[in-house]
């Protein structure tokens, strides 16, 4: 720390050829610095021939890091529905784009169809694909696998079909990313069955807004990593369910999340992710809360911001 000069100091230097001392604090990426300005006034008229030169002012700037504050930690970057700004969401093309972006995790949505198959769909119906209001849950696996889920995004993706949960897990793990499975519909047992068959129980995270579903999954596989999704304020009854469930991960709507909520979750040893953040200024803000994960449609841009 730099101290302001005392009154006696000021008197002692009043007749000396130096000028002032002051300090300024500023915050730079979490580190607080102190500037000290010392101006030195040297009359030069008697020393220099040029009459227009009267004095020289020399500034010395000293930096001192006076804060022990650590910079915000680097959150896990999670591609929302794959790299969904570069390829149609919830497709293998979007997953591969996310892998190319070197994202840490890939999030995708899964629904159960009529015969029990698990496929990547976000919406409950097929309107996104210009196929009317047909419900995903009424499709057979054979029908689901014929749907063009790419043309709505760009005709060059016309060959994309809804991938199965199994195939998506294989692609993500081959690409050395963590699959973040968001369950939309279907029983816990159906998801656990696929994970057991692939022997990937310890390589994935299963999340849902339905916390009762997560409790069912926990009973079937106590060591499976779970993520509890939510938004708005956390009511006491929900907080009690969270404490009972003990998820590894809490994923919250970034519009509702505060730094205080992050601290409260982390106090219970829950990691905290936010969804879905695409604005770069907002990304910087939520990272300053100390979050553990960032779900975004822009994984490459988000990584540049947080690094």
CATH code of 281's domain: 3.20.20.190
Cβ 81 vs Cβ 155: under 8 Å? no
φ, ψ for residue 302, nearest 5 deg? -65, -40
**Is residue 70 a part of any domain in this protein?**
no
Please check whether residues 141 and 199 belong to one and the same domain: yes
The whole model's pTM is what?
A: 0.78
On whether residue 1 sits in a domain, the answer given is no
CA dihedral 61, 67, 70, 71 (to 10 degrees): -40
* pLDDT, one tens digit for every residue, the chain (307 residues): 334 444 444 444 444 433 333 333 333 333 333 333 334 334 443 444 444 334 333 333 333 343 445 566 799 999 999 999 999 999 999 999 999 999 999 999 999 999 999 999 999 999 999 999 999 999 999 999 999 999 999 999 999 999 999 999 999 999 999 999 999 999 999 999 999 999 999 999 999 999 999 999 999 999 999 999 999 998 898 899 999 999 999 999 999 999 999 999 999 999 999 999 999 999 999 999 999 999 999 999 999 999 8
Q: What sign for the dihedral angle of Cα 22, 26, 28, 29?
A: positive
The set of residues, in sequence order, having a beta carbon less than 8 Å from that of 26 and lying 6+ positions away, is 32, 33, 35
Count of helix runs (H) and strand runs (E) in the chain:
10, 12
In a domain, 2, yes or no: no
Decide if 272 is inside a domain: yes
**Residue 50 falls inside a structural domain:** yes
278 and 298 share one domain:
yes
In total, how many domains does the chain have? 2
Name the helix (H) or strand (E) containing 248.
none
Is 96 inside any structural domain? yes
Which residues constitute the domain of residue 118? 76-306
Same domain, yes or no: 222 and 279: yes
Is residue 86, in this structure, part of any structural domain at all? yes
CB atoms within 10 A of CB 139: 22
Q: How are beta strands 225-230 and 205-208 bridged, if at all? A: parallel
Do 54 and 83 fall into the same domain? Answer: no
| Contacts of 270-273 spanning 24+ positions with Cβ under 8 A | 270/228, 270/242, 273/75, 273/76, 273/78, 273/227, 273/249
């Amino acid at each position: 720390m730099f101290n302001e000069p005392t009154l006696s100091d000021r008197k002692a230097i009043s007749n000396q050829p130096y000028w002032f001392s002051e300090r300024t604090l500023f915050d730079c990426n979490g580190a607080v610095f102190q500037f000290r300005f010392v101006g030195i006034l040297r009359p030069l008229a008697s020393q220099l021939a040029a009459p227009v030169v009267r004095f020289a002012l020399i500034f010395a700037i000293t930096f001192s890091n006076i804060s022990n504050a650590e910079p915000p930690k680097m959150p896990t970057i999670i591609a929302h529905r794959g790299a969904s700004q570069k390829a149609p969401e919830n497709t293998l093309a979007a997953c591969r784009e996310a892998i190319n972006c070197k994202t840490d995790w890939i999030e995708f949505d899964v629904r159960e169809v009529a015969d029990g198959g698990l496929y990547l769909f976000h919406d409950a119906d097929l309107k996104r694909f210009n196929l009317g209001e047909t419900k995903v849950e009424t499709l057979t696996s054979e029908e689901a696998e014929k749907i063009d889920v790419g043309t709505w995004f760009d005709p060059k993706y016309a060959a994309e079909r809804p991938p199965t949960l199994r195939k998506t897990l294989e692609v993500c793990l081959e690409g050395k990313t963590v699959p973040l499975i968001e369950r939309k519909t279907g029983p816990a047992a159906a998801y656990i069955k696929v994970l057991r068959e692939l022997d990937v129980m310890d390589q994935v995270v299963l999340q849902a807004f339905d916390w009762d579903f997560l409790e069912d999954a926990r009973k079937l596989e106590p060591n499976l990593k779970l993520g509890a999704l939510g938004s708005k304020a956390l009511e006491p009854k929900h907080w009690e369910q969270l404490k009972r469930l003990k998820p590894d991960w809490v994923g919250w709507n970034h519009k509702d999340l505060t730094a205080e909520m992050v601290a409260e979750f982390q106090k219970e040893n829950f990691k905290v992710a936010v969804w879905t953040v695409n604005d770069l200024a907002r990304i910087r803000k939520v990272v300053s809360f100390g979050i553990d994960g960032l779900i975004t449609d822009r994984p490459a841009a988000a990584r540049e911001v947080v690094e």
